[in-house]
Homo-oligomer: A and B are copies of this chain.
Amino acid sequence: MWIDAVKFDKQGLVPVIAQDADNGRVLMVAYMNADALRETADTGRAVYYSRSRSSLWRKGEESGHIQEIVDIQIDCDGDVLILQVKQAGGIACHTGRNSCFYRSLRDGKWLETEPILKSPDDIYGDK
């Protein structure tokens, strides 16, 4: 089975990079357990494992910002995955930005480099 090539850690998790299939932007990093990975492969939508909630996290279930899978890649030693995705709404981050990686180190400080596209209140608040 293809899933046997994935080396889950002692907690049964593997780190997963979600990358925009169109422009290569790294959107976020999350974790999957085997169930999340199987459901992702079966449904074509990103499903992660929430370490804080200890349950499957169907990305976009609340926000609508689902990730459609274009490709699943694995690294040489099998302990990291990349999802090439189409990001609904162009927003992956819970802060309302395109990417979670919106800060760069400049002269010894973290500089914010991208705008909030939609406020978290608008994304999550009215539900």
- A110 contacts B2, CB within 8 Å? yes
- B108 contacts A82, CB within 8 Å? no
Stoichiometry, as copies per complex, reads 2
Interface assignment of A73: CB less than 8 Å from any CB of chain B: yes
Closest residue of chain B to A80, judged by CB?
A: B29
Number of interface residues of A (CB under 8 A): 36
- A29 contacts B41, CB within 8 Å? no
Interface assignment of A127: CB less than 8 Å from any CB of chain B: no
Most buried by B among A72, A94, A101: A101
A17: chain B residues within 8 A (beta carbon): 17, 26, 29
Other than the known A28-B75, A76-B94, A80-B101, what 20 A-B pairs have Cβ atoms closer than 8 Å? A2-B108, A2-B109, A5-B103, A17-B26, A17-B29, A19-B26, A26-B26, A29-B75, A41-B105, A72-B104, A73-B104, A73-B113, A74-B101, A74-B103, A74-B105, A75-B100, A75-B101, A76-B97, A76-B100, A76-B102
Interface residues in chain A, defined as those with a beta carbon under 8 Å from any beta carbon in chain B: 1-2, 5, 15, 17, 19, 23-26, 28-29, 41, 71-77, 80, 82, 93-95, 97, 100-105, 108-110, 113
